[in-house]
């Protein structure tokens, strides 16, 4: 009971604290929040939509969570970040439960605390994305399978298939195929592939199919090939075969992410793992035998490594993708820290102080720089029925749309528009925001232009008329703080963007 209370306190400190302060950021978080906001306004809890059009980026589960949170708490930052924090809490309790079942309460507790205080998990517990929900459903799928397998109780597999169905409603087909691959590899290592017959029984498959059909069936009926092509074609097949960000498609990506994501626990683990590896290699040379793993170690190893290797082989790589590998990895390595209690307590205690401080000193300024909340505060009082709002720069501030409620056009040159316009089965298909070319700027409307500082010259060279600078938006201050703290020099506050105004062109004006 004491361990559970302590884990709950850790969750409140690490996952919920300050969630109401962090603004919605671009480009990822706002896709979910703006979609949920438009679904709620339309009274449609089935078809995701954004900028007034249907949007098939992700399945429905996370949108349902946002819709429920918006109904209860309103559509602000706290509501948006509520369920990621809830499922992060569920994730550490599930890790505690499984670690206890596999080994003992002490290892389960250490693993849960390590998970809660690791950098990647802490970051994602605040992020408005699907990954924490997926972590819970994914982990529940594999945990219930293993407990059913170990106890020879196939009835538990019903829950495993149900959890996998929720995972598919959260992230797509990967919620079934990746846990299935892990189970297949584990059973092959066990030499027990015949056990698949007990797993894939009709009632288990039916439960999975019913849960998945709750959303996929009506979406296919309502939207037909458009849904299938966009959801499966772009957001599943294309993601696996064509890198969205080529610079991250490197062989060492997830090895590096694992070291950073497991911080601070990776710091003492790396030298310990190297020493253990060479000791086992020496034993193999002397005695000619490979290390022997028990059934629990096999399952944890297969679970963690399969997730990492699978996503390493995919073309598109994100920091978040290997999150499902963290619970088994933490349980596996908790055995190292459980025998080094003082080291564990000192590292956990330091993290419980440092991470919340980092939330206010680092995360908040970074979020402000990647959000259009301040821009929305400036333009909202100036918008009336005769106002056209445009945004020019490399990054479109969809979060300004979320906060202001205004329709904001992405202002581009003809050349850039040809590169950015949405085309089928390419990554440009994600550019579903409304576009406007410079020569389409309406002369009979007041125009508010949000212009990124590094795009100001292009804007002024192409936008005809008499433009008045009405305000500026500074960067959050983290860069200035870093220069002063690390380099000892004082620099002026840097600007993020500028807000320009052009009044309607009067009849007869040559401008």
Distance CA 303, CA 183 (A): 8
CA triplet 179, 137, 28: central angle to 5 degrees? 100
Residue 307 — very low, low, confident or very high, per pLDDT cuts 50/70/90?
very high
Q: Which residues pair with 501 in a beta bridge?
A: 448, 468
Distance CA 505, CA 511 (A): 7
Q: What is the DSSP letter of 503?
A: P
- Whether the per-residue pLDDT at 92 is higher than 50: the answer is yes
pLDDT tens figures, 96-144: 999 999 999 999 999 999 999 999 999 999 999 999 999 999 999 999 9
pLDDT tens figures, 458-478: 999 999 889 999 999 998 765
Distance CA 350, CA 347 (A): 5
Q: How many CB atoms lie within 10 A of CB 339?
A: 10
Q: What is the DSSP letter of 440?
A: G
Note whether 200 and 148 are within 8 A (CB): no
Read off φ and ψ for residue 497, nearest 5 degrees: -155, 170
pLDDT tens figures, 174-190: 999 999 999 999 999 99
- Whether the per-residue pLDDT at 444 is higher than 60: the answer is yes
Distance CA 311, CA 291 (A): 27
Q: Is 236 or 183 the better-scoring residue by pLDDT?
A: 183
Residue 50 — very low, low, confident or very high, per pLDDT cuts 50/70/90?
very high
pLDDT tens figures, 311-338: 998 877 788 888 999 999 999 999 999 9
Give the pLDDT score at 238: 61
pLDDT tens figures, 344-400: 999 999 999 999 999 999 999 999 999 999 999 999 999 999 999 999 999 999 999
Instruction: Work out the percent of the chain whose per-residue pLDDT is above 90.
Output: 74
- Whether the per-residue pLDDT at 245 is higher than 90: the answer is no
Distance CA 338, CA 343 (A): 9
Give the pLDDT score at 49: 95
List of residues 6+ apart from 337 with CB closer than 8 A: 110, 114, 265, 343, 344
Positions of E strands within 455-494: 468-474
Q: Which two tokens stand for residue 82?
A: 């509520």
Of 272, 2, 328, 283, the C-alpha closest to 141 is: 328
Distance CA 105, CA 45 (A): 41
Instruction: State pTM to two decimals.
Output: 0.91
Q: What is the DSSP letter of 129?
A: S
Instruction: Please name each of the domains of the chain with its CATH number.
Output: 2-366 (no CATH), 372-502 (3.40.50)
Cα four-point dihedral sign 71, 75, 80, 85: negative
State CA 80 to chain mean position distance. 13
Q: b vs e for 156-184, b when ≥16 Cβ sit within 10 Å of the residue's Cβ?
A: bbbbbbbbbbbbbbbbbebbbebbbebbe
Residue 91 — very low, low, confident or very high, per pLDDT cuts 50/70/90?
very high
Of 421, 416, 422, the C-alpha closest to 438 is: 416
Question: Whole-number mean pLDDT of the chain?
Answer: 90
Q: Which two tokens stand for residue 425?
A: 């089965």
Residue 510 — very low, low, confident or very high, per pLDDT cuts 50/70/90?
very low
- Whether the per-residue pLDDT at 234 is higher than 70: the answer is no
Note whether 141 and 164 are within 8 A (CB): yes
Give the pLDDT score at 511: 45
Give the pLDDT score at 319: 85
Give the pLDDT score at 249: 73
Reported for 361-366, long-range contacts at CB under 8 A and 24+ positions apart, including other chains, are 361/481, 362/478, 363/22, 363/126, 364/18, 364/21, 364/22, 364/476, 365/475, 365/476, 365/477, 365/478, 365/481, 366/476, 366/478
**394-416 mean pLDDT:** 95
Lowest mean pLDDT among 194-203, 429-438, 486-495: 486-495
């Amino acid at each position: 009971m004491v361990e559970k209370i302590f884990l709950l306190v850790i969750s409140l400190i690490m996952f919920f604290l300050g969630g109401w302060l962090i603004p919605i950021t671009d480009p990822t978080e706002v896709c979910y929040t703006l979609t949920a906001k438009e679904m709620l306004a339309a009274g449609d809890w089935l078809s995701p939509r954004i900028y007034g059009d249907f949007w098939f980026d992700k399945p429905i589960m996370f949108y349902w969570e946002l819709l429920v949170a918006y109904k209860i708490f309103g559509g602000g930052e706290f509501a948006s970040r509520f369920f990621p924090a809830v499922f992060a809490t569920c994730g550490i309790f599930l890790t505690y439960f499984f670690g206890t079942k596999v080994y003992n309460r002490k290892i389960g507790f250490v693993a849960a605390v390590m998970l809660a205080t690791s950098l990647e998990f802490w970051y994602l517990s605040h992020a408005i994305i699907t990954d924490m929900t997926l972590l819970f459903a994914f982990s529940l799928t594999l945990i219930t399978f293993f407990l059913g397998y170990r106890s020879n109780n196939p009835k538990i597999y019903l829950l495993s298939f149900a959890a996998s169905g929720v995972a598919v409603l959260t992230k797509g087909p990967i919620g079934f195929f990746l846990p299935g691959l892990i189970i297949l590899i584990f059973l092959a290592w066990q030499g027990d592939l015949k056990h698949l017959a007990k797993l894939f029984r009709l009632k288990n498959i039916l439960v999975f199919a019913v849960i998945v059909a709750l959303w996929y069936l009506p979406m296919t009926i309502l939207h037909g090939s458009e849904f299938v092509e966009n959801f499966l074609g772009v957001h599943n097949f294309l993601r696996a075969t064509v890198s969205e960000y080529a610079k991250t498609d490197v062989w060492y990506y997830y090895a590096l992410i694992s070291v950073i994501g497991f911080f601070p626990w990776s710091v003492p683990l790396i030298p310990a793992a190297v020493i253990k590896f060479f000791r086992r290699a020496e034993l193999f040379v002397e005695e000619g035998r490979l290390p022997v793993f028990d059934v629990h170690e096999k399952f944890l190893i297969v679970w963690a490594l399969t997730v990492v290797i699978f996503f390493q082989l995919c073309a598109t790589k994100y920091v978040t993708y290997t999150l499902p590998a963290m619970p088994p990895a933490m349980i596996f390595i908790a055995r190292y820290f459980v025998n080094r209690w003082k080291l564990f307590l000192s590292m956990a205690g330091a993290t419980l102080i440092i991470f919340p401080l980092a939330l206010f000193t680092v995360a908040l300024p970074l979020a402000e720089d990647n959000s259009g909340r301040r821009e929305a505060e400036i333009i909202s009082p100036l918008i009336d029925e005769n106002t056209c709002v445009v945004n020019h720069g490399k990054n479109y501030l969809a979060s300004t749309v979320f906060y202001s409620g205004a329709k904001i056009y992405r202002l581009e040159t003809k050349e850039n528009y040809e590169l950015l316009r949405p085309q089928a089965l390419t990554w440009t298909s994600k550019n579903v925001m409304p576009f406007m070319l410079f020569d389409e700027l309406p002369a009979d409307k007041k125009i508010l232009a949000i212009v990124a500082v590094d795009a100001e010259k292009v804007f002024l060279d192409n936008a005809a008329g008499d433009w008045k600078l009405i305000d500026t938006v500074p960067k959050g201050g983290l860069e200035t703080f870093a220069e002063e703290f690390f380099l000892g020099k004082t620099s002026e506050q840097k600007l993020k963007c500028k807000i320009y105004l052009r009044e309607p062109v009067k009849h007869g004006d040559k401008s």
